[in-house]
Structure 1
Amino acid sequence: TTVEGDGPRRKMIWQMPGAQVLLCNYEVVVRDFQTMLEHCDNPQVTSRDGLGRIVKRTGDRNGSESNGGVASLDSPLPKFDLVVLDEAQRIKNRDSVTSKTARAIPRKRSLCLTGTPIENRAEEMYSLFEFMGVIPPHATPDVRQLSKLSEVHILRRTKDLVMKDMPPRLDRDEIIELSPAQQHAYRTAEKDGVIQLNEMGDSITVQHVFELVMRLKQIANYDPLTGESAKLDRLVADMEEISASGGKAILFSQWTRTIDWLAERTTQFGRLVYHGGVPTKKREPILDQFKHDPNAHLLLMSYGTGAVGLNLQFAGYVFLYDRWWNPAVEDQAINRAHRIGCKSQVIVSKFICKDTIEERIDLVLRQKRELFRRVLGEGDNENESLSLSAGEIFGLFDLKKRTSKGGTTSIGPSQPGQDAA
């Protein structure tokens, strides 16, 4: 039974005696949990704990806390035999409303489903293990202990184990030197930008550094004044070979502006454009044309619209024209082509400009992948989600992280939402 409808209907569904399985999203359970507690007569439900009038952070009848410090004794929900959290990374922050509400649901057993158990830090697994009752409230196991807990309590189903007969995915980093005009624009922007950041002193925030990173990444794509682009030269050379053999390629960029710029310069490959600016009703015809038109060799896509939900396994080549902040998003994009049904190997080319911010970001992301493997073990790790932290983005320019005046703890979204301009 799906928990939906207006408030009174949802309340009735929660308490429905004949319902065997209840389905709802996180927003519904948080909202309804709060609403029902606000009308609860139990005098214990009075203290505020980040959830409005949800719980009293006192001991239970035996004088000890349960469910992560949230007294399930006062829950307005029935006691469930099993609570399953899909996309369980939603509770990664122990102090969030969603996490506290999940821990407050009365239950006998708990199960978490997630492809991204770690998004930024290994510590994010604390909340998942606490929800499952694996560790006591407020426990902080180190990486070695987390690794041991993962071996016992996590069942991983990786693509390299499940789909052994799939054609291979071949990744290659294409290290590219900036054109002369790009080098001049890049060095000038970097020098001036770092000087400005240092002059800001303690008023600097991660957002200020992030803006410089974005500006440098865009110059690495192409020089806005001259239009010179070493990446475009490499792309054209590769696409000439691909199109000559009748192949098809998908190119991903985080900027719609870059995609539109490329579209004007790759018409010889029958290029098609698919990003957030394309009307929804036109998107399916574009994908159909890419699949069936023998002259359509290149599909230009944004991470925001092309990273999930599309099946393009007939494309044998993928280009990451610029890098996303999170390797999980890149892997999701690549898996539009490398998935069940692909008939041949998929060649993935990641464009990285030499001696630029792109090399530094790539190094940090590689280190984060290694952290993921240390905690969860070996595997294809295609679903790991590891964004850059505020300290790491400052470190890209050897800047010392200031106080958190900006209120931001990571650079870039962990998942692509709206397309960047």
Structure 2
Amino acid sequence: MLVVHAAWTDGRLCLWAEDTAPGDAPPARRTRPAPHPYAAPAALLRAALGEHAAKAEEAERVVLLPGSAKGPLPSPESGLTSAARAPKITPYLVPVLLLGAPGALALLSGLDDRDGADTPEWGPGGSLRYLAAVAETARDLVRRGRVLPQLVTEHGEHAARWVPVVTGPDAAAFRELAAAMPPVCRAVGEETGSARVLREALSGLADAAVRRALPDRLLAGPRPGPRSALPDRWLAALTGEDPALPGAKPADAERLGTALRDWLAAAHELDGPARVCFRLTEPPPEEEQAGEGEPSWRVEFALQSTEDPSLYVPAADIWAGEHVPGLPRRPDEALLAGLGRAVRLCPELYGALRTARPSAMDVDTAWAFQFLRHSAPLLQAAGYGVQLPAWAGRKALGLKLTTRTRKTGPGAVAGQGFGLGQLVDFRVDLAIGEHTISEEELEELARLKIPLVRVRGQWVELDDRQLKAALEVVSRRRSGEMTVGEVINEVVEGGDELLPLLDVDADGPLGDLLSGEADRRLTPVPTPATFQGTLRPYQERGLSWLSFLSSLGLGGILADDMGLGKTAQTLSLLLDERNGQASGEVAPTLLVCPMSLVSNWQKEAARFAPGLRVYVHHGGQRKREDELGEAVASADLVITTYGTALRDLEALRGFAWGRVVCDEAQAIKNSAARQAQAVRALRARTRLALTGTPVENHLAELWAIMEFCNPGLLGPAKRFRERYQEPIEARRDEDAARALKRATGPFVLRRLKTDKTIISDLPEKLEMKVWCTLTPEQASLYQAVVNDMMSKIDGSEGIERHGNVLATMTRLKQVCNHPAHLLKDGSRLAGRSGKLARLEELAEEIVEEGDKALVFTQYAEFGAMLQPYLSAHLDRPVLWLHGGLPKKRRDELVERFQNDDEPMLFLLSLKAAGTGLNLTAANHVIHVDRWWNPAVEDQATDRAFRIGQTRNVQVRKFICVGTLEERIDEMIERKKALAESVVGTGEDWITALSTEQLRELFRLGPEAVS
């Protein structure tokens, strides 16, 4: 597989690929710089990228990467490891593809649209994903009009370009984006600052986005020739592919350029401590009740802090001379200057400036409508504050769809199964807010042609286009009949763009499905008689929901929290449908899961559903051809892995499965990955996804999983991205979020185990921090590492600095664990570590009380040191599970710990055992060293805190006081709400801190030593 990396250099996107399965390295060439031994040829990269790379230029570039004497270090995305202890930044010669801004924008915008057919398998590295986020930022700036045309100089020639205007909140977002830039993005040739690279990339991509949005000329008429006036040529060059203006006279270019630069500078004038704010207020109710004359609207002026928007000072207070901290020293001058600039965008404000001390202006309804529709968006885009009534911006008119299930006659429910083809009676009504209005009322509103009206006590915005569309919908299809499938499609699509579907009132099974709480409203399905156990009430509701979706031929996502029994609910569904089919065969279910869970499914099926015939299709001895057909025909449940499903796709797609189930369905969150394509290609009547994390990083993952469950239901990926993903992720669009929840809600069942209304008898999880001190030896080593590494960090830049910071953190964490962990000298363990002493005390207490404990460490080498030591110290066996064990041995260790009285201590590598294991025999969890990712730690803790646990689970997290462990723990606590996004990517976020911040982070406090 290829991992594709990217950088931005010299106005172009530079791409190269790392081959994660390169075989033997090519013979070294004695050149400086040396060729990258595992870089894929440019031709192979071009084949992988397909049409996106059709116009790319092949070249070679020098890339600065961390490496050692043996060669470059593998990237984190490759999944490969390296034994290099002190990597250094080294230049390597790499075959690359170069794409100009238009091609780069197309590639970065279409990362999730790859079909992968007959092309080398590849995945984007972090740098390519980052630049895709930059491209999305550029498109968002263009959508909001945050660009201005400029005359620039490129390679000695003049050119017409669009430049992004990054002010106010966009400036803060720019700084955050620059700080998050992976070093690889600026590692081509000479290393460059992240802010400069981001500015160049954002400018190039924004210019390309404008040209894609405006392919035609801005003005009609004859195209200006080379002798035409420069402004005419410049205006024509702002669209199309060629921005060049050859032969421009220096004097003409200076005049035009100066005017355009002044325009750009004016756009940045609002980047101060305060901005002018406009507040539109509607007429008071008593004025409307009086009915005298036209209602009076009011626009109030104020100053608002750009740092703290809640600091809002009306103009009347400013003229009264009140001083407010946080505003400019002369707020009156700032207010007048801001209002003067605002007149350029909203000339109607000029009347207010005729007074010496403007504070507000009274306007009529027509003026208020023009302000709402035209002036307010322009002022907001320019950086002014605008406060509008709560109803402003909402689409006033909507539809209410009422459906009723037929009781008698053709298509009635009685005596039939209820499916997508079921006919229901429907009626469409027009709605304004919560009120339904008649067609006659709507026609009267259209006749009056008043843009702002008060309907039943509520102000609404109307325009001719909305009114015509509303009348057309009602006159075209007011009532009649449609199928259940058509109703669901109406919900997902949301109706006409002008008339979003506000409400669906349905009865019967369809109403249960669309209610948003289908698991509670559906007819209960009891625990099957052949199920060996008892389903909890919420699990029976889950079974009812799964059974109902299956009866409709629809797929779903069972997204219950980890440990709530998704396996048991799925097995009970299989038993229920077989118990209900006394006569006739039920097609087998194919379950696809990670390899680590195959044994778990086998054991759970044998435990809960011994009557199910299970066949495991995995391993070198798996059946093929006719034998496979016989095995499938005689099975109720076929279990396979994602890798096997991909390899045996042709064989597996030849069967007509009753259902395909994807466990840990986040494995198919990348819709372009080959294993995701493979499971989507399998034929099945219904599909089911099991995952506790339906969205890990972005909404495209939800689309990918839903596309597996109900192909085509959410439309093409491009439409989903435009309609839901971009508005929600880029603009936090609440309307889009509500629409997406309404569209996906019927097909996603999500319950949390912390919700006591779901499960009230799960024991408590008691989390506590265990503070440890360092021994004098540890403190001495800690200070020595800080002194040695801070000088290296201070004298390095870019990728080299990044590597030095990570190396420092690793060494300091090893010191906090034990001196022997850092020194790797095989020396004795006893009496040299505060953490180890505390672990010994806890282990003794746990054993004496007859309890069991899980002890997690992120370092396999430290676990290998602890296991024999703890076993000898306790005089009891201590189990040790790590990634180097074969699956059979892992299963034996889990079985022994769960079922035997001893051992009572289970030492585990966090990477190898953080997910997929059921270890409820333990009621203590100890994190010896922290991963600094709350989500990862919680997943590990959930090996014990899950269904089947009968005792309170005590979770202890070891922290050395006065060290970086304590200070990073404080950072996590301060950013608890953002911990997953800020810290969840690993430790890279720390490398962006300044040298002084790092010095404070690594500082050894006096309280650290015992």
SS in 2 for 1:100: helix
8 A contact 1:119–1:387 mirrored in 2:
no
**1:274 equivalent in structure 2:** 879
RMSD of aligned residue pairs (Cα, Å): 4.8
> What does 1:201-240 align with in structure 2 at a 5 Å threshold?
201-204=797-800, 210-224=806-820, 228-240=832-844
Q: Give the CA deviation at 1:118.
A: 3.9
Residue 171 of structure 1: how far off its partner (Å) = 1.0
In structure 2, C-alpha distance between the alignment counterparts of 1:347 and 1:368, rounded to whole Å: 24
User: How much has 1:321 moved relative to structure 2?
Assistant: 0.8
Structure 1 position 399, deviation (Å): 5.1
The equivalent of 1:258 in structure 2 is: 862
Match of 2:717 in 1: 137
Q: Quick one: structure 1 residues 265 and 10, their matched pair in 2 at CA, closer, same or farther if it must change by over 3 Å?
A: closer
**1:308 Cα deviation after fit:** 5.6
| Cα distance change, pair 32–208 in 1 and its aligned pair in 2 (3 A) | farther
Task: Tell whether 2:694 aligns with 1:114.
Answer: no
Write the deviation string for residues 198-235 of structure 1: whole angstroms up to 9, x where unpaired: 65645549777655443332222112359632212332
- Of the structure 1 ranges 301-310 and 278-287, higher mean CA displacement relative to structure 2 is found in 278-287
Out of 145, 150, 159, the position equivalent to 2:753 is 159
Among 395, 400, 406, which residue is 2:989 paired with? 395
Which residue of structure 1 lines up, in the alignment, with residue 770 of structure 2? 174
- Cα distance, 1:274 vs structure 2: 1.6
**Could you say if the C-alpha distance between residues 219 and 286 of structure 1 is closer, same or farther in structure 2, counting changes exceeding 3 Å?**
farther
Structure with the bigger RCO (C-alpha within 8 Å, sep 6+) is 1
Judge conservation of contact 1:271–1:300 (CA < 8 Å) in 2. Answer: no
Paired AA for residue 257 in structure 1: E
Aligned amino acid, residue 254 of structure 1: Q
Unpaired segments ≥5 residues, structure 2: 1-587, 589-614, 995-1010
**Counterpart residue number, 1:89:** 666
Q: Structure 1: which 5+ residue stretches go unaligned?
A: 37-75, 375-385, 401-421
Query: In the alignment, which residue of structure 2 is the partner of 1:185?
Result: 781
2:637 matches 1:30: no
User: Quick check: 359-368 or 341-350, which moved more?
Assistant: 359-368
Residue matched to 1:408 = none
- 1:47-75 CA distance string (max 9 Å, x none): xxxxxxxxxxxxxxxxxxxxxxxxxxxxx
Q: Measured at CA, do residues 105 and 351 of structure 1 come closer, stay the same or move farther in structure 2, by a change above 3 Å?
A: same
Task: Work out whether residues 694 and 701 of structure 2, in 8 Å CA contact, stay in contact via their aligned partners in 1.
Answer: yes
Aligned pairs for 1:320-359 within 5 A? 320-324=927-931, 327=934, 329-354=936-961, 356-359=963-966
CA contact (8 A) 2:793 2:801 kept: no
Q: 1:200 to 1:10 in 2, by over 3 A?
A: farther
Contact 2:858 2:910 in 1 (8 A): yes
In structure 1, how many angstroms separate the alpha carbons of the residues matched to 2:807 and 2:703?
32
Give matches, 1:292-371, under 5 Å: 292=901, 298-303=905-910, 306-307=913-914, 312-324=919-931, 327=934, 329-354=936-961, 356-359=963-966, 370=977
- Aligned to 1:159, the other structure's residue is in SS state coil
TM-score (norm 2): 0.29
Contact 1:110 1:131 in 2 (8 A): yes
Provide closer, same or farther for how the CA distance between residues 271 and 300 of structure 1 changes in structure 2, counting only shifts above 3 A. Answer: farther
Percent identity for Structure 1 against Structure 2: 31
Q: Which has the larger radius of gyration?
A: 2
213-222 or 107-116: which moved more? 107-116
> 2-side partners of 1:135 and 1:365: how far apart?
39
Q: SS in structure 2 opposite 1:264?
A: helix
Q: Match for 1:136: what amino acid?
A: P
What displacement does 1:349 show? Answer: 0.4
Aligned to 1:48: none
For 1:18 and 1:240, the matched residues in 2 are separated by: 52
CA distance in 2, matches of 1:21, 1:242: 41
Q: Give the match's secondary structure for 2:907.
A: strand
Shift of 1:348: 1.0
| Cα deviation, residue 328, structure 1 | 5.1
Give the distance between the partners of 1:81 and 1:347, measured in 2 at CA.
43
Query: Are the equivalent residues in 2 in contact too, given 1:314–1:343 (CA < 8 A)?
Result: no
Whether the 8 Å CA contact 1:130–1:136 is kept in 2: the answer is: no
**SS of equivalent residue, structure 1 residue 232:** helix
Q: Do the aligned partners of residues 205 and 120 (structure 1) sit closer, same or farther apart at CA in structure 2, a change above 3 Å counting? A: farther
Alignment of 1:31-70 (within 5 A): 31-33=647-649
- State how far apart, in whole Å, the 1-side matches of 2:805 and 2:944 are: 34
Task: Count matched residues.
Answer: 345
Partners of 1:272 and 1:300 within 8 A in 2: no
1:84–1:112 contact (8 Å) kept in structure 2: yes
Contact 1:171 1:347 in 2 (8 A): yes
Are the structure 2 counterparts of residues 91 and 315 from structure 1 closer, same or farther at C-alpha, using a change threshold of 3 Å? closer
Using a 3 Å threshold, how does the CA distance of structure 1 residues 116 and 219 change in structure 2: closer, same or farther?
farther
SS at match of 2:992: coil
Q: Write the distance in 1 (CA, Å) between the matches of 2:898 and 2:924.
A: 17
CA drift at 1:156: 1.7
Work out whether residues 924 and 954 of structure 2, in 8 Å CA contact, stay in contact via their aligned partners in 1. yes
- Superposed CA deviations along residues 348-398 of structure 1, whole A, max 9, x for unmatched, are 101123454545665787799846999xxxxxxxxxxx9843xx6332133
SS in 1 for 2:819: coil
Code of the aligned partner of 1:29: A
Q: Could you say what secondary structure the match of 2:749 adopts?
A: coil
Alignment check: 8 A CA contact 1:129 1:135 kept: no
More strand by share: 2
Task: Tell me the SS of whatever aligns to 1:396.
Answer: helix
Report if aligned partners of 1:253, 1:321 keep a CA contact under 8 Å in 2. Answer: yes
Distance in structure 2 (CA, Å) of the matches to 1:282 and 1:102: 27
Q: 1:89–1:114: 8 Å Cα contact kept in structure 2?
A: yes
Q: Distance in 2 between matches of 1:332 and 1:107?
A: 32
Task: Give 1:253's aligned amino acid.
Answer: T
Task: Report SS of the residue matched to 1:292.
Answer: coil
Amino acid at match of 1:173: K
Hey, what's the Cα distance between the residues in 2 that align with 1:104 and 1:364? 45
2:499 paired residue number = none
Contact 2:878 2:904 in 1 (8 A): no
